[in-house]
Structure 1
Amino acid sequence: MLYKLWRSFIKEIFLLKRDIGGIVIIFVMPLLLIITITLIQDSTFRNLEGAKIPIIFIDNDHSEVSQNIKKELEGSKTFRLLTNFNEKTAQDAVFSGEYQMAIVIPENLTKDLNANVDSKVQTIVSSFGLEADSAQAQKKAPKAKELHLYFDPATNAGFKSSVMNSVNKMVFEIENKKIYKAFQEQLGTTEDIEENKNLISFKEITPLKGEKEIIPNSVQHNVPAWTLFAIFFIVVPLSINLVKEKSQGTSVRARISPTPYFVHILGKTFTYLIICIIQFLLMVAVGVFLFPYFNLPAFDVSGNMLSLIVVTLFAGLAAIGFGILLGTLAETQEQSAPFGATSVVVLAAIGGIWVPVFLMPEFMQHIAGFSPMNWGLNAYYDIILRHSSISQVSKELFLLFLFYIAMVAISIFYERKQNAV
């Protein structure tokens, strides 16, 4: 049995040696993908971090509130203000896509805000029976003011929400300070409210490794994601080789030989599992040794290498099972190659390789739970980012192995049915 398995393994190696295109797909293409996409994502991240977004700022108030808003925006690390516009030209520039957004401060914003605050404070003070300016208290509160925000129609909804929340927070803080100041004047206190800090603040707590914070980066996300994509792309050469065996009569000789068919399946499994491990080691080597030369963070696998190899083995089994099924069902290379490539891309999209699952619509998030790529990706992320153990990702490993068993079982059943006499 072991000798027959060894002969099956050697046969698969010879088939791969003759398929230069398949070897390029298996090894070279994933390396190019991981380098290119990681560089693009990291460059985008650095540009957004270091470069300021130009936005149009139109000040029709020219007073305290508008100056405070302008100061806050200029002091941020996000925006660079452009002021040589009027509202009409700003609207045209933003809606045409020349700029991402414009902020228009209305006239008399400071004056009306002060009047509104004074009116409310006078009303409250007089309700306590304290001496107040009755004329001021009886004044009608001014009409609510609107800050006009113009956004490029192509602007991301998350960016819009973030900007509006930031502007709203600035105006709210300015109004609060004015209310405190007005009460101070009415009550004759001298406390410095500028020194008062918020009772509630936010502090992000990140995982620690020793005394160092663990901060996820583009490399930690891309290496496991594109390793999985590479592993599943063996579906293409594997299915093509199975179709070749049928067209060349190799499968007929295998059926009439005393060697059980499942031994041929095991031979293919062991061959392509070794290829999966080599793919994984190449991707890790690129992340650890090559990425620092591109000014990218090095891929950190310290203490996780064995666990990652185990996940790779189970992910490889799932990919091999799918390739065997596809090669068994397909009758020609014209069927197996395009369908194999397309199905891998679809599984990658569903599984969260292209777009994170949490950003998908709810019904797509449920569908993602059925993708073997999603199981493998979750297992990789749990180990790399959450420092989980093998036992903690056992559910994903079980699903990947079950997927392999199901694919192979269907393939053997179909092959026997097709060749039953």
Structure 2
Amino acid sequence: MYKIWISAYKELLLLTRDLGGLAVLFVMPLLLVITITVIQDNTFKIIQENKIPILLVDLDNGSVSDKIKTTLTNADYFELIIENEEKKAKDLVQKGTNQLAIVLPENLSRDLNLKIEENVSGILAKFGVEEESEEQATAAKNKEIRLYFDPATQESFKSSVRNNIDKMIAQIESESIYKAFQEELGSDDSDILFDTGNFITFKEIIPNSGKKELIPNSTQHNIPAWTLFAIFFIILPLSINMVNEKNQGTFVRLRTQPVPYAIVLSGKALVFLTVSLLQFGLMLLVGVYLFPLINLPKLEIGGRLPLLFLVAFFAGLAATGLGLLLGTIAKSQEQSAPFGATFVVILAAIGGVWVPVFAMPKFMQAISNLSPMNWALNAFYDVFLRDVGLSELIPELSLLLFFFLMTTGIAIIYNKRKNAV
């Protein structure tokens, strides 16, 4: 045990003397998680809270276009800008000045009313209330509301806007149909009142087995994901220190001592495992205390702190094992640094840190199961968002422990064979 502590002390001295390495381990992750969370939180709120300026070209100038203008003006998510020419609106969107332009076609109100009257008259004629008019049946023409989107606009934003506009147009059509029935039946508004409000509504419920409801937000998604990214970045200073020991002759001196290679690796693992836990604790402090000060959602931990540190511990083991393996195999910094950084990015990409796994192609979803970041991220989500217990975390924690044992074992065997006399 004494030899492990001495090895760990030596590794700690190397780490504390490397200011650049400390910045990579602690400052870079903080800047990264704050930047990503600010950007993503604003994206989450863009439809609900931030008003989006949109151009409206009204070629109809009728009752329907007036209702559309009123609805858009009263909407919480649009800021209406009236534009007279379709070509000018199209150019503004093409240049990126505006993200969206809506063009209402000519005779929209007239043809919509004709179409509704045609349908209402046809229904009443079938019940013998009135005779169907052939003249009306050919008068109405289908209309097309044109939407111009900035080419750089993401598809998710387009879908959200289309859904909101489609819902608005459907409500206007429903009100017009009810009004047409009233007129055809010869009734005024005081005789027959149609309720045009939504009869069917939606309620979002988060399944949590009757426990306290947890509302997911950008903080709860970003803190675990980018903390894992930071934890796995410890393979860079760890592997670089091991390469420097080889190049500077320190490793040769260690080999002359009666110390097994496993003891040397244990000291390194102890130091960098502690670093990973410090990183995680620092991230939690940022989420709990700093994020509310910059108008970001507060990280809700509740009574889940022991489980969170347990997951961080096993994630740190997996990252440390990978760093020990890379440092053992690499012969120079030119090998360890670029490969380590690139490999961490690949693990993050396929592990769901950047893009959710469910949004990936099927074959990439299968590959993501091989990433230790994916195992750790699922475990963090289980604790943060699904409020599970220790028993549900055992599969992911077992995989992380197995990854550490496998990579460390390979490093020991490789070193033994390489230095065999």
The CA distance in 2 between the partners of 1:217 and 1:206, in whole Å, is: 13
The CA distance in 2 between the partners of 1:208 and 1:406, in whole Å, is: 35
The CA distance in 2 between the partners of 1:40 and 1:197, in whole Å, is: 36
The CA distance in 1 between the partners of 2:93 and 2:290, in whole Å, is: 41
SS in 2 for 1:83: strand
Cα deviation, residue 213, structure 1: 5.2
SS in 1 for 2:120: helix
SS in 1 for 2:80: strand
Cα deviation, residue 43, structure 1: 5.0
C-alpha distance after superposition, 1:79-127 (max 9, x if no partner) = 1111133111111211222211111111111211121122222222222
The CA distance in 2 between the partners of 1:409 and 1:43, in whole Å, is: 45
Q: Measured at CA, do residues 33 and 57 of structure 1 come closer, stay the same or move farther in structure 2, by a change above 3 Å?
A: same
C-alpha distance after superposition, 1:144-181 (max 9, x if no partner) = 11111111111111222222222222222222333333
Cα deviation, residue 413, structure 1: 1.9
Structure 1, gaps ≥5 residues long: none
Q: Measured at CA, do residues 122 and 28 of structure 1 come closer, stay the same or move farther in structure 2, by a change above 3 Å?
A: closer
Aligned to 1:191: 192
Aligned to 2:94: 95
Alignment TM-score, normalising by the size of structure 1: 0.91
Q: Measured at CA, do residues 57 and 304 of structure 1 come closer, stay the same or move farther in structure 2, by a change above 3 Å?
A: same
Contact 1:56-1:85 at 8 Å conserved across structures = no
The CA distance in 2 between the partners of 1:295 and 1:135, in whole Å, is: 61
Aligned to 2:180: 182
Aligned pairs (5 A) from 1:271-282:
271-282=271-282
Q: Measured at CA, do residues 54 and 391 of structure 1 come closer, stay the same or move farther in structure 2, by a change above 3 Å?
A: same
Contact 1:122-1:136 at 8 Å conserved across structures = no
Cα deviation, residue 275, structure 1: 1.4
C-alpha distance after superposition, 1:13-36 (max 9, x if no partner) = 222233232222222222232333
Give aligned pairs, total. 418
Contact 2:375-2:396 at 8 Å conserved across structures = yes
Cα deviation, residue 249, structure 1: 3.2
- Residue 142 (structure 1) aligned to one of 140, 157, 164: 140
Contact 1:120-1:137 at 8 Å conserved across structures = no
Cα deviation, residue 295, structure 1: 3.2
Alignment TM-score, normalising by the size of structure 2: 0.91
Aligned to 2:84: 85
Cα deviation, residue 211, structure 1: 10
Aligned to 2:376: 376
The CA distance in 1 between the partners of 2:171 and 2:47, in whole Å, is: 27
Contact 1:106-1:146 at 8 Å conserved across structures = yes
Q: Measured at CA, do residues 169 and 20 of structure 1 come closer, stay the same or move farther in structure 2, by a change above 3 Å?
A: closer
Cα deviation, residue 46, structure 1: 5.5
For residue 324 of structure 2, what is the amino acid of its counterpart? I
The CA distance in 2 between the partners of 1:191 and 1:374, in whole Å, is: 60
Is 1:321 aligned with 2:321?
yes
Farther off after superposition, 270-279 or 359-368: 359-368
Q: Measured at CA, do residues 36 and 119 of structure 1 come closer, stay the same or move farther in structure 2, by a change above 3 Å?
A: closer
Aligned to 1:56: 55
Cα deviation, residue 55, structure 1: 1.0
Aligned to 1:299: 299
Q: Measured at CA, do residues 60 and 204 of structure 1 come closer, stay the same or move farther in structure 2, by a change above 3 Å?
A: same
For residue 92 of structure 1, what is the amino acid of its counterpart? D
The CA distance in 2 between the partners of 1:243 and 1:324, in whole Å, is: 11
Aligned to 1:234: 234
